[in-house]
Structure 1
Amino acid sequence: MKIFRVEGTLVATARIGNLDRHRLLVVQERGSGGKQVAVDPVGCKPGDWVIAVGSSAARDAAGSKEYPSDLTIVGIIDYWDDPGRSDGHASGATDDKAER
């Protein structure tokens, strides 16, 4: 599992039939500049910090071993202790979760 931040929704109208159930999101891995596309079966919004799995776990998490996912979001992070931050604050969303 890895931590990502949701950047936004990816719209692809021409896609294979197996992708019709879940939204696709653009996510950025924490500490990296690279963006990836993730399947969203949990209902994320831009700015959310999320946990995602890859490889065969991503297909299982999306609902089927035949589902064509290489990255699937499995949870929205509410809070985590992050000793790597230099400002002394914890990471993760707190106030905006009340809007869900």
Structure 2
Amino acid sequence: MDIMQVVKPLVCTCRHEGLLQSSLRVLRDSSGKFQVAVDSCSSRPGNWVYVVSGSAARYATGEFATLTDLTVGGIIDFWEEESGQTEQAV
């Protein structure tokens, strides 16, 4: 699992049927690289999320038939990018 930040939603009107009607998000990792993930948590731009990758990403969607190798597994309550520290949101 990795921690990434949601940049924006990705809208694709024409897509492979294996993606079903999954919501897609553009994410940025700590090195600034962009990736696309299926969003199972209704994340919003600016949210810090943890992602599940590889074949486990299919299970994280709740529908194993979904064709994905990266899925948002949860929204992090608080994350300081500079220090990599987490705290409970107040």
TM category, shorter: 0.7 to 0.9
**Helix, strand or coil for the counterpart of 2:68?**
coil
Q: Mean Cα displacement is larger for which, 14-23 or 4-13?
A: 14-23
CA apart distance, 1:91:
5.5
TM-score by length of 1: 0.76
Higher RCO structure, 1 or 2 (CA under 8 Å, sep 6+) = 2
**Do 2:6 and 2:49's aligned partners in 1 also have CA atoms closer than 8 Å?**
yes
Quote the residue 1:72 is aligned against.
71
The root-mean-square deviation of aligned C-alpha atoms, in Å, is 2.6
Question: Displacement, 1:4?
Answer: 0.4
Question: What TM-score, normalized to structure 2?
Answer: 0.84
Q: CA deviation at 1:21?
A: 2.7
- Structure 2 gap ranges (5+): none
Equivalent in the alignment of 2:22: 22
For residue 98 of structure 1, what is the aligned residue in structure 2? none
Displacement of 1:18 in angstroms is: 2.7
Partners in 1 of 2:36 and 2:82 — Cα distance?
Answer: 28
Cα distance between partner residues in 2 of 1:21 and 1:44: 16
Offset of residue 43 of structure 1: 0.5
Contact 2:53/2:71 (8 A) holds in 1: yes
Contiguous gaps of at least 5 residues in structure 1 = 96-100
Q: Any idea what the Cα deviations from partners look like across 1:8-64, whole Å, max 9, x if unmatched?
A: 0111111022323321000011x2111000000110000000000100110111123
Three-state SS of the structure 2 residue aligned to 1:78 is coil
Residues in 1 aligned to 2:25 and 2:81: alpha-carbon distance in whole angstroms: 25
**Between Structure 1 and Structure 2, which shows a larger proportion of helix residues?**
1
The structure that has the greater radius of gyration is: 1
